[in-house]
Structure 1
Amino acid sequence: MPRTVLLLLAVTALVLPSAAVAATPTTTTVTPSAVTSVYGDETLTFLAQVAGTNGVPTGFVQFLVNGEAYTEPRALDALGRAQELFPEFYLDVGDDVSARYLGNGVDESSQGDATFTILPARTQVAVATSPRPTLAGEPVTIIVKVDNASTALPAWGTAALVVDGAVEAEFPVDEGTLTVTGGEDLAAGTHTFEVRFTNPAGDFEPSSGTTTHTVQGRTLPVQPPPPFNPPPPPRLMPPPVATPAPTAPFAVLRHTTKAATGAVSLLTQLPAAGTVTAHASAAGVPKWGTVSKVVTAAGRVTLVVNPSAKARRKLAKGKSVKVTVQLRFQPAAGGAARTLTRRVTVKATKTAKGSRAPSRGSWRLASPSGAPR
């Protein structure tokens, strides 16, 4: 029997997808409402315009300040525009503003930069004092007002107080005002107070103001003269009896030590002309130091025994050292030498860490202050 072969042919239609439409380029321009403005201008706005080849682009624009996003993206209107108004204190002198179009499936993203300049706001400083005048020893209150002559934004920054040409202190200025008090050590007379205002960010121009203030001296009450009492009549005294002058002793009247150098100073009484020698020693340092002096008459002389290098190394270890000082006096007229011994404690010469000089000036804030940003 013939074999019947049924061939079933499956015809598969291969459908190729259509090519995707590539996004087209766009351009973004940013235009400020004023090319030149001043810090604190609350009317300054920026308009972003996005243009493309597929009609008016749609989507959102992100405004950037110095490369960082500011608030939420703004939606483009029907003309492809978006506008931003920054707070009056947000943009500083030297800031950059740009806008980035985020794109969509049809239009590519793009970015544009605004060309503009923000100038520092002009300032004026007024200085007043209270009460006027003051008495010596009383505090003076200085009231400072820093006005923003360009915009309504209050000035902030730093005020340096200059009294009679010398800078005494610096204080922060907030909301354009500052009140300080002090000056109890001002001498009687007329003094000049100058306040120099600066802004660390450069948003306000520096300026200064000056006033004078009088400090009156205190008048002491006039005391009545004491009553006159005639002196008693002189008494006849017997003639003095001549007595031989006492011989001056050989002694150490006082000794001191210098912590900074380790030196030992001895105020010594000498009985006559001659040579005096002081030799100092300590445990482990037999030759601490030696000093000699020649005197031509009896009297007082100061002997300073400076430590040797070995002695200074011992002091630098941070511990006090007990030093024995032997003094020897040889009279110039001859005879037996006289000696005496004095024991002293020399403090370590190591400098304490963390010490600092006390701050100068007597001026202080009379009201709290600080910068708003």
Structure 2
Amino acid sequence: MNTKIFGRELKKRGFDFYVGVPCSFLKNLINYAINESEYIGAANEGDAVAIASGALLGGKKPIVLMQNSGLANAVSPLVSLNYPFRIPVLGFVSWRGQPGEQDEPQHELMGRITTNLLDSMQVKWMYLSADFKKAKRQISLAAKYIESGHPFFFVVKKGSFEPEILQEQERYFSVNQENIGQRADNQLPTRQEALRVINECKDGQTAQLATTGKTGRQLYEIEDACNNLYMVGSMGCIASFGLGLSVSKPDFDIVVIDGDGSLLMRMGSMATIGYYNPQNMIHILLDNNAHDSTGGQKTVSHNVNFINIASSCGYVKSIYIHDLNELNKCLNEWKLTKGLTFLHLKISPGTEDQLSRPAIKPYEVKERLATFLNRNVSESRGARS
């Protein structure tokens, strides 16, 4: 079918924010997205789902594009982020390795199990018709599923889209302006102490996103607030989620609180974040060199220079933090100056034995935060007028 007409039909229904990882079967739809809509190229498919999820919370109607081999990479966020938080994304997944069609050997097994995998994840799906009239009705059905809070994926066969020529893309560079490495001894505060400092710096235009495990649980104990999100599952996805929320809510300060195990798991997200460079996002790494939530097993963070990595990825500022006073100072300065910023603070391992879990359900946390974001935008606009 005509790719441009199909894409514009999606746009009529509000789907004009794309996140994807390339596939030859989807290249024409991806080209359309780049040419005529907002498009973020993710490092991997799981990151793409997380970015789209953050964007949806910020009011976008996102579309995720991926090859079915990458569907395996996206399993974690689809089952442990989108499912418990009830975040419905619209997806297009190619059907490489379709039984009966000649393809590369690496696609054979995934081709056989693609639809079974979607069924197992309780993701509604449909083979996309190459006939536009039928596809238009399918879009209408998919939109109803999305509106009811359920994700929906189209499985796309080879040759479904007519050629769409990719327009010349402007290439630009995000340049680091401040790189400050370690220059003193570490205070090694507890995670709870660091979280208290971070929490005290928030205001009515701040959303705080806490990574999987004890970080979210401790933030909940410090203060359960409507502008907090406590990530569960989907380890490593908090920074990508923050990117999606940042670009969809530029009037808000997005504070992403990460851990070393989490960041190491999906460190490619830093390259994507650095390139798209949201000025309203600060990415804070609380690094205890351990998987604290699972028994204290060591990570390899002691062997990684996160400051240089963030700097080389294009974060505007990349700063090593030695103590809580520096953390407080940097957070307050950032609220005035903005710019994509990475802070690295070494903390002590271990935590209190009796640590509660949020009593509020993940989807209630999501809905509460969405209400906060929308209400505050309305109020701030009213105040300015």
Taking structure 1 as the reference length, the TM-score comes to: 0.21
Bigger radius of gyration among the two: 1
With CA pairs under 8 Å and 6+ residues apart, which has the higher RCO, 1 or 2?
Answer: 2
Taking structure 2 as the reference length, the TM-score comes to: 0.20
